Amino acid sequence: MRESWQERFAETPDVLLDARRQRTIVPVLGFAVGGDEFVTMAGPCSVETESQIMATAKHVRRMGARVLRGGAFKPRSSPYAFQGLGLEGLKLLAAAREQTGLAIVTEVMSECDVPLVAEYADILQIGSRSMENYTLLEAAARSGRPILLKRGMMATIADFLRSAQVILDNGNPNLILCERGIRTFETAMRNTFDAAGIALLKQIAHLPVIADPSHAAGHHDLVPALARIGIAAGADGLLVEVHPNPDKAWSDGEQSLDFAEFDAMMAALEPWIALRGMTLHEEMLGQRELAGLRTLEAVG
């Protein structure tokens, strides 16, 4: 007898798709993740300055983003690297929401910070390094805010589903999963983008899945290709790093797209999104067509 996925992942029953359970659609500010609309979340790795976050917010909004990303509390690989602006960063994100109408996703690293971050953010991001911090997962779930749970860089799909189950168990159904690449023996890329993981999650779980090509690629050149692969694998949206001047970024500049690269990527992704039968944020379609034309001119 061949084992079913349901049997294989029986430990996390509430996460699994079955005949009785509808797909989860997560409502955010006037739109939803996991429905018919392809949702783009874009912005810098870290919130740095008012002009940086405002310029980025306005730009990504014009190109169809629904959500502004930006870290105020940053989990850095080096303890000596920039650790984020903290509360000041949250305030800048809220000001950008005020000006653009974009929803805000930002990381919360500690259960002590959950009430503060939940006051400013529309979606709480649990970072790769925190995926198995169950105290944080419980506190974040209980805040009632939608959660974007990033896959741990060394987490199996079963580990990922266990963390998802903890959030559901704590009474929060508004959970979005995010594939951001895992560690393998390959070192050319920062991480190995697990496209099969996205396909599997969409097949076995009822939760929306977002692809983060930036932290998988580690290099801006590869981001559009991984975004395309994520869409083909079934992702409901993208989380992508965009910076006005990546060379000067305070974190993750290597993998951040500049505005022109972001425009070209979004224009190029449009037919792939259409192939999935998904819609795009309507008022943005005209902008994308313009960017598409500009890209064609640049190539031609």
Enumerate binding residues for Mn ion (CB under 5 A).
45, 252
Q: Are 200 and 192 in contact (CB under 8 A)?
A: no
Distance CA(226)–CA(232), nearest Å, equals 10
CB of 182 to ligand PEP, least distance (A): 10
Q: Which residue is nearest to Mn ion (CB)?
A: 45
Cβ proximity to ligand PEP, 222 vs 267, nearer residue: 222
CB of 163 to Mn ion, least distance (A): 20
Distance CA(298)–CA(300), nearest Å, equals 6
Q: Which residue is nearest to ligand PEP (CB)?
A: 127
- Report CA 276 to chain centroid distance, whole Å: 19
Distance CA(141)–CA(168), nearest Å, equals 8
CB of 66 to Mn ion, least distance (A): 19
Structure tokens at 196: 């099969």
CB of 178 to Mn ion, least distance (A): 12
CB of 195 to ligand PEP, least distance (A): 16
Q: What is the 3-state secondary structure (H, E, C) of the chain?
A: CCCCHHHHCCCCHHHECCCCCCCCCEECCCCEECCCECEEEEECCECCCHHHHHHHHHHHHHCCCCEEECECCCCCCCCCCCCCCCHHHHHHHHHHHHHHCCEEEEECCCHHHHHHHHHHCCEEEECHHHCCCHHHHHHHHHCCCCEEEECCCCCCHHHHHHHHHHHHHCCCCCEEEEECCECCCCCCCCCECCHHHHHHHHHHECCCEEECHHHHHCCHHHHHHHHHHHHHHCCCEEEEEECCCHHHCCCCHHHCECHHHHHHHHHHHHHHHHHCCCECCHHHHHHHHHHHHHHHHHHC
Cβ proximity to ligand PEP, 34 vs 213, nearer residue: 213
Cβ proximity to ligand PEP, 46 vs 267, nearer residue: 46
Cβ proximity to Mn ion, 34 vs 230, nearer residue: 230
With CB under 5 to 8 Å by kind, the binding choice for 206 among Mn ion, ligand PEP, none is none
CB of 208 to ligand PEP, least distance (A): 17
With CB under 5 to 8 Å by kind, the binding choice for 128 among Mn ion, ligand PEP, none is ligand PEP
Cβ proximity to ligand PEP, 154 vs 275, nearer residue: 154
Cβ proximity to ligand PEP, 66 vs 150, nearer residue: 150
With CB under 5 to 8 Å by kind, the binding choice for 180 among ligand PEP, Mn ion, none is ligand PEP
Cβ proximity to ligand PEP, 75 vs 286, nearer residue: 75
CB of 45 to Mn ion, least distance (A): 3
CB of 252 to Mn ion, least distance (A): 4
With CB under 5 to 8 Å by kind, the binding choice for 127 among Mn ion, ligand PEP, none is ligand PEP
Which chain residues interact with ligand PEP by CB under 6 A? 45, 71, 75, 127-129, 150, 180, 215
* C-alpha atoms less than 13 angstroms from C-alpha of 150 in its C-beta half-sphere: 28
With CB under 5 to 8 Å by kind, the binding choice for 213 among ligand PEP, Mn ion, none is none
With CB under 5 to 8 Å by kind, the binding choice for 142 among ligand PEP, Mn ion, none is none
Cβ proximity to Mn ion, 46 vs 163, nearer residue: 46
